[in-house]
Chain A
Amino acid sequence: MTRAAMRTALALFAAFALVPPVAVELGDPFFLVIATRIVAFAIAALALDLILGFGAMVSFGHAAYLGLGAYAVAILSRAGVTEIGAHLAAGIAVSIAFAAVTGAISLRTRGIYFIMITLAFGQMAFFAFVSLSTLGGDDGTALAQRSTLFGTRVLEDDVWLFYLSLGLLAGLFAFARAIVGSRFGRVLIGTRENALRMEAMGIAPFAYRLTAYVISGAMTSVAGVLLANQAEFVSPALMNWHRSGELIVMVVLGGIGTLTGAIGGAVVALLLEEWLAVFTEHWRLAFGAVLVLVVLFAPGGIGGLAERLRR
């Protein structure tokens, strides 16, 4: 990662850290709600960038892991387990299992096949939760309370939840950076560039790709746990394939394979949605147009645009 990207990342984190005091100053708690959602989605985008940017795996089913994390909160809370550590662990464990099985099948394929298969598995998870009537089915279910942190109910406070989310984002960002910089990461990038050559060097790409896929899924479920807590509500809408598409949008908007870009992309995409929604209920029309125009005229996303302007 370049020094410029690191500086951008640090600036982003500093800006995030300033949101709660500013929100309090402005007396608008809604800022905090949006900021928490942005941070949670940034975690998911970061996770997706890890496989999309560094392993060239275009997963169109990552929303499933958001849902698995969110439902871990709902299901465990109902069973009387409210500790967020347990929720995270359960979400991660289930996601690892789901990612290992679906990943092993999906990674037998490439290109268009891979995109479509991950999409199909994502929808499979979506429909499974839609039909689970004990959890509210299509309508979803409200949480009785937010998760507890070490037995205390501090997360009921939006500021605490925000800083916890931010802490998790920072930790996972460092984790993702460590992965990319490690030997494992180099092999992953190698399989992106030329899988055949990696095989010739005596490295079987499949195991590396699958491991990366599983790690990415597990990371995404963390975002799901946070989103469930933020909204205090869980529904299959979180796993809808539009969500998966939005995650890809975030990664690409920010510039793929940069990690920092994924965070920036989440900020831009969600703020753009909020901003457009102020003007018209038909904001999706404009949002879609922005996507088409970015692809046609600004390949590389915001990061690429900034890069070109700098030159």
Chain B
Amino acid sequence: MTNLFLLQLLNGLQLGVLLFLIAAGLTLIFGIMDFINLAHGVLYMIGAYLMATFTALTGGFGTGLILALAGALALGLALEALIFRRLYSRPHLDQVLATFGLILMVTEGVKMIWGVSPLAVEMPELLARSVPLVGPLRYPVYRLVIIAAGLLAGLALYALIAHTRTGMRLRAGASNRDMLSALGVNVERLFALVFALGAMLAGFAGALVAPILSVDTGMGESVLILTFVVIVIGGIGSVRGAFLGALLVGVVDTLGRSFGPIVLRAVMEPAAASQTGRTLAPMLVYILMALVLAIRPAGIFGRAAR
């Protein structure tokens, strides 16, 4: 039981790290530009698809990863220049509508290019093994690599935001964009930079997860909603909040799904327990979100709504 718990905790951590990679960029986009981007999950999906194509093409995991990152970055910048830039000053409703339309377009476009059947990505041989943790328990190396890569990316992002001039501007932009602009900072370039950063992080997450998931057109959407929950819990604009929220959501979701039915069995009949558990488990993160909001409407690290 303890072993299972440890295993699921690691799985939860891995999910949390992935969510963080996607949420970090998105929370900055929300916070700094006051722009609601539903299409962020699309970049995650594109990252995975590009990974599948480029690893198959070049035969190398590393080169595939780099090319996929570059592709996601290019797409992100193109979308920013062509569409998003015109929407910053628009009402949220317009932003919702346009980015919703964009999801439909890109998802359908991906279906046309890559087909509807899911793709698989080969794992590099070096990482396709497992290591012993405690006792008989083993854990796949690749998942550990994901956790490490995500944490490293988080660390790099922290360094960027807390200790560089650009990071200072990002923080300033998240708290008062107009003032930042008045102080002579080129806000438009900052916006493009935030988008590039967000697109790359989301693409990175998609490329990383490609070998352990089947790559399909639904992957962006399932993760997008969880990312929203993460951002709401953490507070819009707060990367720190996104980190905490992501780990919280990842762990709660994973543990809830595996232990919900087991815990319920103590108070119910087994059949009813497994049914109730299966129904309740996916709802857990939303209940968590509701609880956080009931106490702090602007999220854990969020400022009160302006």
A residues lining the B interface (CB < 8 Å): 52, 58, 60, 105, 108-113, 115-117, 119-121, 123-124, 127-128, 130-134, 241, 245, 248-249, 252, 256, 282, 284-285, 287-292, 294-296, 299
Question: Can you name 25 A-B pairs with beta carbons within 8 Å?
Answer: A58-B92, A60-B96, A112-B36, A112-B92, A113-B232, A113-B297, A116-B36, A120-B229, A120-B289, A123-B286, A124-B287, A128-B283, A130-B282, A245-B96, A248-B100, A249-B97, A285-B112, A288-B101, A288-B102, A288-B103, A290-B101, A291-B100, A294-B97, A295-B87, A299-B94
Give every chain A residue within 8 A of B286 (Cβ-Cβ). Answer: 120-121, 123-124
Cross-chain contact A295 with B225 (CB below 8 angstroms): no
**A105→B86 contact, CB < 8 A:** no
CA distance A120 to B287 in the complex (A): 10
> In the complex, how many angstroms separate the beta carbon of B8 from the nearest chain A beta carbon?
19
B98 within 8 A of A: yes
Whose C-beta in chain A lies nearest to the C-beta of B109?
A: A285
Contact between A295 and B101, CB atoms less than 8 A apart: yes
Are A105 and B293 also in contact (CB < 8 A) when A115-B36, A116-B231 are? yes
Report B148-198 residues with CB < 8 Å from chain A CB.
none
Give every chain A residue within 8 A of B108 (Cβ-Cβ): 282, 284-285, 288
A residues less than 8 Å from B287 (CB atoms) = 124
Do residues A284 and B289 form an inter-chain contact, with CB atoms below 8 A? no
Q: With A and B bound together, what is the CA distance between A108 and B305 in angstroms?
A: 10
- Assess whether B1 is interfacial by the CB under 8 Å rule: no
Query: Given A120-B232, A288-B104, A289-B105, are A111 and B225 neighbors across the interface (CB < 8 Å)?
Result: no
Closest to A112 in B: B36
CA distance A124 to B253 in the complex (A): 13
> Which residue of B has the minimal Cβ distance to A123?
B225
Q: Mark B23-51, 1 if CB is under 8 A from A, else 0.
A: 00000001000101000000000000000
Interface residues of B, CB < 8 Å — how many? 48
B63 close to A (CB within 8 Å): no
Q: Which of B65-117 contact A (CB under 8 A)?
A: 83, 86-87, 90, 92-94, 96-98, 100-109, 111-112
Question: Are A292 and B93 closer than 8 Å at their CB atoms?
Answer: no
Q: Report B-chain residues with C-beta under 8 Å of the C-beta of A112.
A: 30, 34, 36, 92, 236
Output the least CB separation between B19 and chain A (Å): 14
Residues of B within 8 A of A117 (CB): 232, 289, 293
Would B83 and A292 count as touching, CB distance under 8 A?
yes
B214: CB under 8 A from chain A?
Answer: no
For chain B residues 205-236, which have a beta carbon within 8 Å of chain A? 221, 225, 228-229, 231-232, 236
Report chain A residues within 8 Å CB of B3: none
Residues of chain B contacted by A58 (CB below 8 angstroms): 92-93, 96
New contact pairs (16) apart from A52-B93, A120-B289, A285-B112, CB-CB < 8 Å: A60-B96, A108-B297, A109-B297, A113-B232, A113-B236, A113-B305, A116-B231, A120-B229, A120-B232, A127-B283, A128-B283, A249-B100, A295-B87, A295-B90, A295-B97, A299-B90
A287→B105 CA distance, assembly (Å): 8
Asked, given contacts A58-B93, A249-B97, A299-B94, whether A119 binds B102 with beta carbons under 8 Å apart, the answer is no
- Chain A residue numbers with a CB within 8 Å of B98 are 291-292, 295-296
Nearest opposing residue in chain A for B305, CB measure: A110
Q: Distance in Å from the Cβ of B230 to the closest Cβ of chain A?
A: 10
Given the complex of chains A and B, what is the CA–CA distance between A252 and B305 in angstroms? 25
Q: Give complex CA distance A120, B278 in Å.
A: 18
Residues of B within 8 A of A289 (CB): 101, 105
Closest beta carbon of chain A to B35's beta carbon, Å = 9
Asked if B266 CB lies within 8 Å of chain A CBs, one says: no
Please, which residue of chain A has its CB at the minimum distance from the CB of B289? A120
**Smallest CB-CB separation from A290: which chain B residue?**
B101
Per CB-CB distance, the 4 closest pairs between chain A and chain B, nearest first, are A291-B101, A288-B104, A288-B105, A127-B282
B291 to chain A, nearest CB (A): 9
Residue of A nearest to B227 (CB): A116
Query: In the assembled complex, how far is the CB of residue A133 from the closest CB belonging to chain B, in whole angstroms?
Result: 7
Name A127's closest neighbour in chain B (CB-CB). Answer: B282
Contacts of B229 in A (CB 8 A): 116, 120
Q: How far is the CB of A51 from chain B (nearest CB, A)?
A: 12
**In the assembled complex, B290 has its CB within 8 A of some CB on chain A:** yes
Measured between beta carbons, the chain B residues less than 8 angstroms from A252 are 93-94, 97
> Which listed residue, A115, A123, A296, touches B96 by the CB 8 Å rule?
A115
User: Does B58 interact with chain A (Cβ within 8 Å)?
Assistant: no
Expressed in whole angstroms, the Cα–Cα distance for A166 and B99 within the complex equals 33
> In the complex, A115→B221 CA distance in Å?
16
State whether A291 touches B297 (Cβ < 8 A): no
* Closest B residue, CB atoms, query A297: B86
Contact check, B36 vs A256: say whether CB atoms are below 8 A apart.
no
A289 to B102, CA, bound (A): 7
Which residue from chain B places its CB closest to the CB of A300 in the assembled complex? B94
* B298 contact set on A, CB distance < 8 A: 109, 113
Cβ-neighbour of A119 out of B103, B225, B278 (below 8 A): B225
Q: How far is the CB of A75 from chain B (nearest CB, A)?
A: 14
Say how far A49's CB is from chain B's closest CB, in angstroms: 12
Interface centre among A117, A134, A241, A288 (most CB of B within 10 A): A288
A131 to B86 Cα, complex, angstroms: 41
- Bound-state Cα–Cα, A52 to B305, Å: 19
What chain B residues lie within 8 Å of A241 (beta carbons)?
221, 225
State how many angstroms separate the Cβ of B26 from the closest Cβ of chain A.
Answer: 10
Given the interface contacts A60-B96, A291-B98, A296-B83, does A111 sit within 8 Å of B283 by beta carbon? no
A168 to B44, CA, bound (A): 43
Give the complex CA separation of A134 and B108 in angstroms: 33
